[in-house]
């Protein structure tokens, strides 16, 4: 889904650096998020789809290819359990069932452990529900994702 191994290696370095930075918990309900924010632009693969919640798993679902991916959100993203909505770091509300769009990339479950720790890796592993065994990583920027227009 992504081009170039160099780009993948660069993102993994960023993920590890961010994961070692401390601060912020990586889980808020079904939301997996970076523990700290980063100023790096990240990668530019398209991450879009409909938000789905199944048990403890929050997905971005792509109806066109019948795949869904657990998702790692930017630091500062929270979960509103009452309204069943993801609240982005810029306070953008994205309720379950809404279409979202942003930039990021797709990586293996092991990459979740490197950036968010073992607890988030366990959640991601239990939620993976796609052919590739991948998790969507949203760029770790305040406005990296929001409602699709």
| Predicted pLDDT of residue 15 | 40
Q: For residue range 56-100, what is the model confidence (pLDDT) as tens digits?
A: 999 999 988 899 999 999 999 999 999 999 999 989 999 999 999
Angle value at C-alpha 72, between 134 and 145, nearest 5 degrees: 110
In whole angstroms, give the CA distance from residue 18 to residue 63.
Answer: 32
Beta pairing class for 99-108 and 134-138 = antiparallel
Residue 55, class by beta-carbon neighbours within 10 Å (0-12 exposed, 13-18 middle, 19+ buried)?
exposed
Residue 122 · residue 148 · CB < 8 Å: no
pTM, 2 dp: 0.81
In whole angstroms, give the CA distance from residue 104 to residue 2.
Answer: 10
Q: For residue range 7-30, what is the model confidence (pLDDT) as tens digits?
A: 444 344 344 333 333 337 999 999
């Amino acid at each position: 889904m992504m081009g170039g191994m160099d780009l993948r290696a660069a993102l993994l370095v960023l993920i590890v650096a961010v994961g070692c930075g401390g601060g912020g918990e990586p889980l808020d309900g079904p939301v997996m998020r970076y523990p700290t924010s980063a100023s790096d632009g990240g990668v530019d693969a398209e991450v879009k789809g409909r938000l789905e919640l199944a048990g403890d798993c929050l997905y971005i679902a792509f109806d066109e290819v019948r795949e869904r991916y657990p998702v790692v959100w930017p630091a500062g993203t929270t979960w509103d359990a009452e309204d069943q909505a993801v609240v982005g770091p810029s306070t953008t509300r994205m309720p379950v069932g809404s279409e979202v769009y942003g930039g990021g990339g797709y990586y293996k479950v092991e990459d979740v452990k490197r950036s968010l720790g073992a607890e988030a890796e366990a959640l991601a592993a239990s939620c993976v529900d796609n052919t590739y065994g991948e998790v969507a990583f949203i760029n770790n920027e305040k406005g990296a994702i929001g409602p699709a227009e």
